[in-house]
Amino acid sequence: MQNQSKISDDSVVAPIEVSPEFPVAVVDYNTRGENPDIKPHIHNMCEIGYCFAGTGIFLIANKVFPFKAGDGVFITSKEFHYARGNAGQETTWGFLNFDPLGLIPSCPENPSIQKILSCCCGKNFCNIFDGNQHPELTACIRKIITERRNAQKNWQPMIRVGVWELLLHLSRICPENIDPDDDYGNYEDSVRIMSALNYMNLHYSEKVSLNDLAHACHTSIPNFRKLFCKAMGIAPYPYLSRLRIKYACSLMENRDEPLYQIACQTGFNEISNFNRQFQAIIGMSPSQYRRRIIEKEKKPEKDSQL
């Protein structure tokens, strides 16, 4: 997410300039609030990130992921993305862009880097890695970022080794069933609705109309519906509902507020509608989800007593 404050409303492609001999950018280490001056954007190379503090939501293509401190992220050059903190919170991330194809020499015994990267995007790939579930992977991301930031002796070969280790970790968790409909070759459709995505991220807790979204994209409501469905594979309101529910999940994982307050904070005026939408999207009720969080928090305590 390097230098993203310079991206204008109509510019979502943010090229990163690096040396061809060692295609690794400088680290973007930043602390931002819940409404950063960042628009959904896409880079010309891969990006990794490590969350040092805070909680929030990461929008990656048509996917929405809650994140917390200790989590990592991997994004290829095929998916636009955007991150923000939860209400009233600041988040601290370290981000690093690099070209793995330019870093790792091809060898007969090495698995295809291009094949690994092709699996690390699309609707079946989870870009956010929970630090508790994937400690080796998130530690690898943090180490690469730290090596680049400190730039101590032999830091360049250390980064090459680290990136190769990261790719091998990713190859273990990549889904093998790549969806043929996950075609990101043309960004024009996504570019047309970026302003609407940004509007949703800023106003998800408020009443959002199709007119607001179409106006943000300078088009008519019928044309906006068509553009949005083509770019995201889902209609605007179902996408907004999913966005709100994912924000609710993030709040539930990091706060003890009553469910009706979380429902109001995420744009649901009626708790019954919140419960219904949550069940449909997450596959369980909000109460069940909260109980699962409590059980996960208790599990490490039990394990430590063994």
Q: Both 242 and 268 in a single domain?
A: yes
CATH number of the domain that 266 lies in? 1.10.10.60
User: What's the pLDDT score for residue 64?
Assistant: 84
Task: From residue 9, give the alpha-carbon distance in Å to each of 64, 128, 142, 216, 296.
Answer: 21, 26, 31, 10, 41
Q: Both 197 and 98 in a single domain?
A: no
How far apart are the C-alpha atoms of 39 and 78, rounded to whole Å? 16
CATH number of the domain that 76 lies in? 2.60.120.280
303 falls within a domain = no
Domain final residue, candidates 104, 139, 173: 173
How far apart are the C-alpha atoms of 298 and 132, rounded to whole Å? 13
Q: Both 84 and 210 in a single domain?
A: no
How far apart are the C-alpha atoms of 152 and 53, rounded to whole Å? 25
User: What's the pLDDT score for residue 182?
Assistant: 52
Residue 29 β-bridge partners: 94
Q: Where do the H-state alpha helices sit in 32-123?
A: 100-103, 113-119
How far apart are the C-alpha atoms of 111 and 5, rounded to whole Å? 37
Residue 59 β-bridge partners: 64, 82
User: What's the pLDDT score for residue 187?
Assistant: 54
Tally the domains of the chain. 2
How far apart are the C-alpha atoms of 190 and 88, rounded to whole Å? 29
302 falls within a domain = no
Q: Both 94 and 237 in a single domain?
A: no
The type of residue at 93 is W
Q: What is the pLDDT along the chain (306 residues), one digit of tens a residue?
A: 444 333 334 447 778 999 999 999 999 999 887 777 777 788 889 999 999 999 988 888 878 888 999 999 999 988 888 888 887 788 999 999 999 989 987 655 566 888 888 889 887 899 999 999 999 999 999 999 999 999 999 999 999 999 999 999 999 988 765 554 454 434 567 778 888 888 888 888 999 999 999 999 999 999 999 999 888 888 999 999 998 998 898 888 877 889 999 999 999 989 999 999 999 999 999 999 999 888 876 665 444 444
225 falls within a domain = yes
Q: Both 58 and 169 in a single domain?
A: yes
87 falls within a domain = yes
Q: Both 143 and 203 in a single domain?
A: no
Contact 80, 47 (CB under 8 A): no
Q: Both 156 and 235 in a single domain?
A: no
Q: Both 98 and 149 in a single domain?
A: yes
Q: Both 145 and 229 in a single domain?
A: no
Domain final residue, candidates 126, 144, 173: 173
72 falls within a domain = yes
261 falls within a domain = yes
How far apart are the C-alpha atoms of 174 and 11, rounded to whole Å? 30
How far apart are the C-alpha atoms of 1 and 209, rounded to whole Å? 29
The type of residue at 291 is R
Q: Are strands 81-85 and 63-68 parallel, antiparallel or unpaired?
A: unpaired
How far apart are the C-alpha atoms of 61 and 40, rounded to whole Å? 9
User: What's the pLDDT score for residue 274?
Assistant: 96
Q: Both 27 and 152 in a single domain?
A: yes
Domain hosting 239: range is: 188-297
Domain final residue, candidates 141, 173, 205: 173
242 falls within a domain = yes
The type of residue at 197 is L
Q: Is the pTM of this model over 0.85?
A: no
31 falls within a domain = yes
The distance from CA 184 to its chain's CA centroid, rounded to whole angstroms, is 16
